[in-house]
Amino acid sequence: MVHHDPYKIWLYEIIMQQTRISQGTPYYDKFVKRFPTVKDLAVAEIDEVLKLWEGLGYYSRARNLHYAANQICDSYDGKFPTNSKELQKLKGIGKYTSAAIATFAYDEKIGVVDGNVYRVLARAFGIKDPIDQTEGKKKFEMLAQDLVDKTKPAIYNQALMDFGALQCTPKQANCAKCTMKKTCVAHDKNLVGSLPIKSKKLIKKIRYFNYMVLEFKTKTLIRQRIEKDVWQLLYEYPYLEDTKSTNLTRSIINNWLSDYLGYEGRFRWKNEQKVYKQQLTHQTIIGSFYKVELLAKVVPSSPYKLIDKISFDKHAFPKIIDCYLNDNSISLFK
């Protein structure tokens, strides 16, 4: 990926974070086509940006892209900052992304440290400092900075990242055919499988969402997730959360309709649920879906709204909702 347009480099780097290239490439192509310039992205509605991002996960990246596009238009006259320090003032751009944009777009002499580079440096130099601790990160950044080729920094950085992605891979490093094997500390000391080191163990919590699929004639009730939580600004069905697996009952639904929608009419439902699971980095979401048919009209207020099924395609939903919808034959993917 060597080209020199900072906007496209930024899009590419953000989309590819925690994403396989084969999965991220179609998203990158869609974004470049729909938003060819940073100004096009800035003036777009956030709902459209999230819709285009749908299925890629880590939605804060999409929200930050949109926010930063507006920062660039408002504070930098629509032009990207031209150095890594200034780039870090933009939302969602940290050390890695700022270094990548600065070196690939402007040939800044800065060492780019992504997951691939951590791995190569940890193994080649036998560094045992954890890569998820501040001290360890500093050590790797300083080493990367010392090593960067000052005459061709962009080519050097790209080569090191590619070397980690293709040669010194996480599980099956190709040491037998490696040009560095004579000097590589990890290869010499049989540490290839244990470097780099991470100190933190991910603690995952399980959350149970009991979704109510509330339908009135051809319409369905959805809500936007406005709270600071996973899937912020995406849409979903209303739900009740629990820390353990529980079932909805008629009286729970009745109370919810009254408390949240002011609905006192009759409704039909069968105590049948469809259960789906979505794995996020720090949490597992177990979603149980219950269909409820409202027999009188409901007039919801924000963040709730009643929509026709045909306008589902205009809203971005978390994957767990997409799975339920696809099982119910509403295709969200064109």
- Return the number of the residue (61 or 181) whose C-beta is nearest ligand SF4: 181
Half-sphere exposure of 54 (CA within 13 A, CB side): 24
Could you tell me the smallest distance in angstroms from the CB atom of residue 271 to ligand SF4? 56
- Return the number of the residue (194 or 249) whose C-beta is nearest ligand SF4: 194
- Return the number of the residue (69 or 186) whose C-beta is nearest ligand SF4: 186
Cα 328 from Cα 326, distance rounded (Å):
5
- Asked if 197 touches ligand SF4 (CB under 6 A), the answer is no
- Asked if 219 touches ligand SF4 (CB under 6 A), the answer is no
Q: Distances in Å between the alpha carbon of 48 and those of 14, 39, 66, 227, 317?
A: 17, 15, 10, 19, 12
Q: Is 13 a catalytic residue?
A: yes
Do the beta carbons of residue 232 and residue 60 sit within 8 Å? Answer: yes
Do the beta carbons of residue 67 and residue 61 sit within 8 Å? Answer: no
What does the chain come to in residues? 334
- Return the number of the residue (123 or 139) whose C-beta is nearest ligand SF4: 123
**# chain residues binding ligand SF4, by CB under 6 A:** 15
Encoded tokens for 29: 């192509």
Question: In this chain, which stretch among 33-41, 50-58, 172-180, 220-228 interacts with ligand SF4, using CB under 6 A?
Answer: 172-180
Determine which residue in the list 73, 147, 180, 298 makes contact with ligand SF4, applying CB under 6 A. Answer: 180
CA angle, residues 30, 232, 253, in degrees to nearest 5? 120
Question: In this chain, which stretch among 77-85, 128-136, 171-179, 289-297 interacts with ligand SF4, using CB under 6 A?
Answer: 171-179
Question: In this chain, which stretch among 13-21, 182-190, 289-297, 302-310 interacts with ligand SF4, using CB under 6 A?
Answer: 182-190
DSSP track, 51-101: HHHTTS--THHHHHHHHHHHHHHHHSTT---SSHHHHTTSTT--HHHHHHH
- Return the number of the residue (67 or 125) whose C-beta is nearest ligand SF4: 125
- Return the number of the residue (65 or 186) whose C-beta is nearest ligand SF4: 186
Q: How far is CA 130 from the centre of its chain?
A: 24
- Asked if 332 touches ligand SF4 (CB under 6 A), the answer is no
Do the beta carbons of residue 30 and residue 43 sit within 8 Å? Answer: no
Do the beta carbons of residue 161 and residue 2 sit within 8 Å? Answer: no
Mark residues 95-134: x for contact with ligand SF4 by CB under 6 A, - for none: -------------------------x--xx----------
- Asked if 165 touches ligand SF4 (CB under 6 A), the answer is no
- Asked if 66 touches ligand SF4 (CB under 6 A), the answer is no
- Asked if 319 touches ligand SF4 (CB under 6 A), the answer is no
Cα 145 from Cα 220, distance rounded (Å):
55
Do the beta carbons of residue 129 and residue 142 sit within 8 Å? Answer: no
Could you tell me the smallest distance in angstroms from the CB atom of residue 184 to ligand SF4? 3
Residues engaged in binding ligand SF4 (CB under 6 A): 120, 123-124, 167-168, 173-175, 178, 180-181, 184, 186-187, 192
Which positions are catalytic? 13
